[in-house]
Amino acid sequence: MAFKVIRNVIVTQKGKLMQKMKRTDMSSQLGFMSDVKKEIEIITSYLQMMEIYRKQEIRVIIEVTNLDKCLPDRVVEVLHAVDILLSNPDAPFICILAVDPGIIVECAEKSDLLKGMANNGYLFLNRIITLLFSIPQMSHHTKAKHLDNIIGDQAKSPENNENYEIKNQEQEVIDSRNPENAINKALQSVKSKECEFINDNVINMRRIVNTIGITIRLMIKDAEWKKIQFKVLKWVIMGAQWPCSLSWILQCIEDEQQSAKELHKAYLEKRLWDIYEMSLEALHANRKSLKQLLELDGDPDIFSKLLKDSKFTVKDANILRKFTVNLDPTIQRKIELLQGSFNFLRFKKDKIVSRLALLEMDTDAVCKAIGKLNIQKKKLKKYISMIEKHTLNGKALLYTDNKEIRRALGMTLGDWVTFRAAFLSLPTPTFLL
C-alpha cells in the first residue's frame, strides 16, 4: 500500500488519465471504464492513507454543473462516470449534481449510449442519484434580492426601494429624457412592482435587466417616448418570457393590417388582450405545430394577467415592436408560414374568403360560398349535403385539421385543391392530405 501511494505521488494520476484520454483509440476500447475505475481505487487508497496520517475523515466533494449545456452522449458519459465514483461504498466521494432534470432526462433518452436499456430517462436518473433535492419556487423577497444583486444596487434597503417611486408624472417625463434616470426608475420598478411577473431563472433576470437599458436608450429619442415610456418595462418582460405568445399576437396584428385597405382609429385603439383572447382557439388548434415554440413561454396565466394589467393597444405594439431587441423574429416568421399569410393565392381577391369573414360564416353561408366554386354540380350537391350534415360553419373550417375536413366532405384531390384555394384561412400544417 505504501509503495503504491509513493509511486502515485511521483507519477500523478491526472497525467496518466490525460495521456490515455488523448489517445484516439482509447475512448473506443471496452476497457476504458475499467481503467478509470482502477484509477479511482488508487485515489481512494491514497485518501485512506491520508486519513490515517491526519487522523480524521477526508471527503472529496465533486460539483457537476452546466451539464444541461452538453450534447446527449456527453451527458450520459458524465452520469456513468458519477455512477463509477459512487459504486464503491468505501469511496470518499460526495458528488453534487446541479442540473435541470427535464433537459437531462431528454438527453438521456436521445443518447445512443442507452440503447438496449429502459427508455425512461427518469428511471435512469433515479438509479444514479441517491438523494434528490428540488429547489422550491422563489419568493417575492428572494427575486427582489437577486435583481438587486444583478442591478448592483445593494446599498439601498427594500424599504427605500418601495418608496423610490414616481412622485409626479410631469417631473418624470422631464427626467426621463435623461437615459440614466429613466433606466434607474425602470430598474427600481422591476424590483418593486414587476417582480411578480418575472420567473425564477437568474439568467433570465440578468437578460431582462440588460435589455431594459438597451431598449430605453433606443427609444428615448423617439417622438412617442412620452406616451409609451410607462409600458416599456412590461413589454420587455413579455418579450423575454413569452416570445411565442407575443409573436402570435404581433402576427395577428400584421395580418389584419396587411389585409385592410386603411387602418381605422378604432382598431389602433384595440387592446392586445382582446386580440389574444379572440385568437386563442386558433392558437389551440395549432398547438401541435407550435409545440417547440410554446415550450419557450412561461406560465400562461401570468401572461394573461400581465397582458390585461398593461392595457397595451395595437398602436402601442406598432411603436414598441420597432425597438424590441429581445424577441427573435424567426419565431414570428414560423407563425407567419403556419398561418399561410404569404400564400400566392391571396392575391386572387375575388376568389378568397378572408379569415375574418370565415369566422362570421354560418353553415348556410359556407354552402353558398362553395356553390360559387368551379366544381361539378353532381359533386357539389354531395359536398353541400355533407357540410349541412356535419354542421361545418366558418369556425369549424378554420380550426379543424385538413385531414378531418377532407374526410368529412369526401372530396377528390382536385376538388380539395380548389376548396383550399378558396378558403386560405384553413390550417396549413398538413398539405393536401
pLDDT at 172 over 80: no
**Count of CB atoms within 10 A of residue 60's CB?**
13
- What sign results for the dihedral spanned by CA atoms 70, 76, 81, 82? positive
pLDDT at 350 over 90: no
Which residues, 6+ apart, have CB-to-CB distance to 307 below 8 Å?
238, 272, 273, 276
* DSSP codes of every residue in 165-232: S-S-HHHHHHHTTSHHHHHHHHHHHHHHTGGGGS-S-HHHHHHHHHHHHHHHHHHTTSTTHHHHGGGH
pLDDT at 340 over 80: no
Mean pLDDT of the 80-92 span: 77
**Count of CB atoms within 10 A of residue 180's CB?**
11
- Confidence band, pLDDT 50/70/90 cuts, at residue 115: low
Which 8-state DSSP code applies to residue 313? B
By the 8 A CB rule, do 39 and 88 touch? no
Enter the pTM of the model. 0.59
Spell out the domains of the chain, with CATH numbers in brackets.
2-128 (no CATH), 140-339 (no CATH), 344-422 (1.10.150)
Which residues, 6+ apart, have CB-to-CB distance to 399 below 8 Å?
281, 282, 284, 285, 427
Q: What pLDDT does residue 25 have?
A: 57
Mean pLDDT of the 295-309 span: 89
- Confidence band, pLDDT 50/70/90 cuts, at residue 433: very low
Q: What pLDDT does residue 97 have?
A: 87
338 versus 168: which is more confidently predicted?
Answer: 338
